[in-house]
Amino acid sequence: WLEALGPGALVWRGGAAAEAAALLAEVQALVAQAPFRHPVTPGGFRMSVAMSNCGALGWVSDARGYRYDAVDPDSGRPWPTMPRRFGELAARAAAQAGYPGFAPDACLINRYEPGARLSLHQDRNERDFSAPIVSVSLGLPAVFLFGGGRRSDPTTRVPLVHGDVAVWGGPSRLRYHGVLALKDGEHAATGNCRINLTFRRAG
Ligand code: MD5
Ligand code: FE
């Protein structure tokens, strides 16, 4: 079922539940090729979220800034190919939300361990903000912070659980958002972590 969060933003509750095990098996194969790492922000802080990517472009951060790059800086090789199942799920979710033809060229794979968090930010490294971002939550539950167009705008707390698929498009594409520190726990599918797949049209 679809839950509206705001203009252009919705959560498809359980949209990935049936194929969660298959998605996680793909993640395991992907991070064998491009291991999780903790990016360092341009300000010099190590991110608590561990990240990897698949697809033609991957999101990277270092002292020079945030950007998308076709090459994994840790290996010097292109990012692993995006599994067909990933792109198809993202396109199906986007179409349901009113964004037909979504063809992501980047999938950022985020791993949250207990205590890991993402502070309030906007996603603006992509070339074209008319495409939505689709995000798939797997494993431990998280509290998502959904803000407004300015950092100081009030936020609402949205619980995201295993199998939920969120679509952020239209006027919500550039809203501030974050993830509260992950609570300790155990999930049958992932153990003690949350995996979030975010699909983007970056290039
Ligand atoms: C997560 N990841 O749960 C989230 C899912 C990130 C990130 O935020 O940058 O890796 S994507 C949430 C998102 C994207 C674009 C817009 C909005 C939310 N929004 O308007 O709230 O790991
Ligand atoms: Fe984000």
| Atom number of ligand 1 nearest to Cα 175 | 20
pLDDT, residue 111, reads 99
Domain count, the chain: 1
CATH code (residue 52): 2.60.120.590
Determine the average pLDDT of the residues in 107-121: 99
Whether residue 118 has its Cβ less than 6 Å from ligand 1: yes
Cβ neighbours of residue 194 under 8 Å, at least 6 residues apart? 111, 112, 137, 138, 139, 140, 141, 142, 182, 187
- b/e map 159-186, b = 16+ CB within 10 Å: ebbbbbbbbbbbebbebbbebeebeeee
ipTM above 0.90, yes or no: yes
Which of 123, 143, 158, 176 has the most ligand 1 atoms within 8 A of CB, as the residue to mutate? 123
> What is the Cα–Cα distance from 56 to 104, expressed in whole angstroms?
9
pLDDT by residue (tens digit) across 77-112? 999 999 999 999 999 999 999 999 999 999 999 999
Domain hosting residue 151, numbered range: 2-200
- What's the pLDDT tens digit per position in 152-194? 999 999 999 999 999 999 999 999 999 999 999 999 999 999 9
Average pLDDT over residues 128-146: 98
146 alpha carbon to ligand 1 midpoint, in Å? 9
